[in-house]
Structure 1
């Protein structure tokens, strides 16, 4: 699978870095009880950590709010997905298990303070480009709403837009029928390439422990 960074992203976000993991021959299902327990405990701990903390004090949130501003997106109106997760946890609205791929994706986002996206690779058509949206870019979001991506960083294939660090699309959602997946990691721009590689290795290893299969990964910048 070919994934490229569009020229509009390179010019607006010269320090941006993205992690790409392509999984094959995976089995997605209900999260193992051990994983459910670990995610629940992590949320409880995070809830306590966030009680007296402003969102802007969290480095990943602060950096991604800045990224949104650089492309022309108002981060107070359209929050980075990791900030939306943290706000839920701060209120004690813990995430309920969905499926093993989505649960791990949310766990990684909370753990590393950055947006993540996981997509059914078989539902992606052709090559993938990371771009900044024009006035026509949109999709039906996982929340059931039409997501307009004007001036917003997002992923697109030959069929159109399908994912972003805001809300992902229904079209490429991972389900228990998925056997291959594309994992996109929206790194903090301040991270070094070596640090990004180490994170991708750890993410890939844990994902494969739960789902089996194989993976290849790389950093785009």
Structure 2
């Protein structure tokens, strides 16, 4: 699987880095006492909404024309939802890491992913399937919007604001791609620590998973997982 970041995105934020983890063999399931403990622990020590790491993401949204007060970066939205929502074991794991490190973390079901994962600026005609009033609808990103996409369409709009329905992680997910996204002032050491923490939680869920990882940065904007 190829993964890459378009130069048009790094031109907006040269400090952007993404740590990608590809995980095979998950045995997901409904939230339980373990995952509730992860979420509660993350919420207890949660940063305030004025944290500099959040403000960096708000600035990144403004750079491509988005209003972060209306469509918030994913970790900003999570920090405003207390107690943290229970989704399923895997989503609870990465949401707890996201809040603990003030770091956007996304998860994609590889069983529904097609082709390379790439972070690009949208042309505007890409498809994006979303939920609206309990029904799946087809939407489109704005021209120039920063989006994650595969060969079929947009998988996450506005960098990390909202994930599509097609690739979201469910209790049936067995293979997944996790994207941990960093901007300054977060250090590279903390990005690595967040990846290690997520890997450890996923191994609590499924001890025999296989994990591959790669970090993309300006000198290495593409990789194969």
Fold shared, TM-score > 0.5 on shorter chain: yes
TM-score (norm 1): 0.85
Note the aligned Cα RMSD (angstroms): 2.1
CA spacing shift, 1:211–1:152, aligned 2, 3 Å: farther
For residue 185 of structure 2, what is the aligned residue in structure 1?
A: 190
C-alpha distance in structure 2 between counterparts of 1:62 and 1:146, whole Å = 31
For residue 118 of structure 2, what is the aligned residue in structure 1?
A: 129
2:141 corresponds to 1:149: yes
- 1:4-56 CA deviation, whole Å, 9 max, x = no partner? 1112112222211111000001111123413313323432554xx65xxxx2x
For residue 116 of structure 1, what is the aligned residue in structure 2?
A: 105
2:66 corresponds to 1:77: no
CA spacing shift, 1:38–1:106, aligned 2, 3 Å: closer
C-alpha distance in structure 2 between counterparts of 1:29 and 1:179, whole Å = 10
Q: By how many angstroms is 1:125 displaced?
A: 0.3
Count matched residues.
210
C-alpha distance in structure 1 between counterparts of 2:107 and 2:69, whole Å = 24
C-alpha distance in structure 1 between counterparts of 2:26 and 2:57, whole Å = 30
- 1:50-94 CA deviation, whole Å, 9 max, x = no partner? 5xxxx2x212210100111122222122211111111222xxxx2
The runs of 4+ residues in structure 1 deviating greater than 3 Å are 142-148, 189-195
- 1:103-139 CA deviation, whole Å, 9 max, x = no partner? 1121111111121111101111011111122222341
For residue 38 of structure 2, what is the aligned residue in structure 1?
A: 38
CA spacing shift, 1:169–1:179, aligned 2, 3 Å: same
Structure 2 gap segments, 5+ residues each: 218-225
CA spacing shift, 1:38–1:25, aligned 2, 3 Å: closer
C-alpha distance in structure 2 between counterparts of 1:44 and 1:198, whole Å = 19
> What SS does the corresponding residue of 2:192 show, helix, strand or coil?
helix
2:204 corresponds to 1:215: no
For residue 161 of structure 1, what is the aligned residue in structure 2?
A: 154
> What SS does the corresponding residue of 2:14 show, helix, strand or coil?
coil
> What SS does the corresponding residue of 1:182 show, helix, strand or coil?
strand
Q: Which has the higher helix share?
A: 1
Q: Which has the higher strand share?
A: 2
